[in-house]
């Protein structure tokens, strides 16, 4: 099966599964899924986050998702348990569509690694 076709199928499966679990079936968008990855990585599930913390959760998710691609590296956990990453390599300039495909691929790989999808 072509790589793009497999990615599309896995992405749709993931969106459906996450949407059923976290949004009562309303389809989650890419940024919402990135946010969920940030919450997962922080591990503080049952709390409300302030606006600046939500921005930080998205940053954590992006770093974690792009870590396997060599762009970020985990550095340390701070006293409040928040993970910190350092930049290993700057992302190349990408068009919006290319960014979206990269993030979808990284998210699918993340959830394959976590055995949430197969």
Q: Would residue 28 count as lying in a domain?
A: yes
Rounded mean pLDDT, 25-51 = 95
As a whole number of angstroms, the distance between CA 107 and CA 33 comes to 8
As a whole number of angstroms, the distance between CA 5 and CA 1 comes to 7
Q: Would residue 63 count as lying in a domain?
A: yes
Q: Would residue 44 count as lying in a domain?
A: yes
Domain span including residue 49: 3-113
pLDDT of residue 1: 56
Query: What pTM, to 2 d.p., does this model score?
Result: 0.92
Q: Would residue 23 count as lying in a domain?
A: yes
Q: Would residue 25 count as lying in a domain?
A: yes
Rounded mean pLDDT, 38-44 = 96
If one counts the domains in the chain, the total is 1
């Amino acid at each position: 099966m072509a790589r793009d076709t497999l990615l599309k199928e896995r992405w749709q499966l993931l969106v459906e599964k996450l949407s059923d679990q976290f949004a009562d079936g309303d389809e989650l968008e890419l940024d919402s899924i990135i946010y969920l990855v940030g919450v997962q990585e922080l591990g503080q599930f049952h709390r409300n986050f302030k606006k600046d913390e939500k921005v930080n959760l998205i940053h954590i998710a992006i770093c974690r998702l792009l870590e396997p691609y060599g762009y970020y590296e985990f550095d340390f956990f701070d006293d409040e348990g928040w993970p910190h990453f350092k930049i290993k390599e700057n992302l190349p300039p990408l068009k919006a569509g290319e960014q979206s495909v990269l993030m979808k691929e990284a998210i699918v790989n993340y959830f394959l690694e976590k055995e949430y999808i197969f």
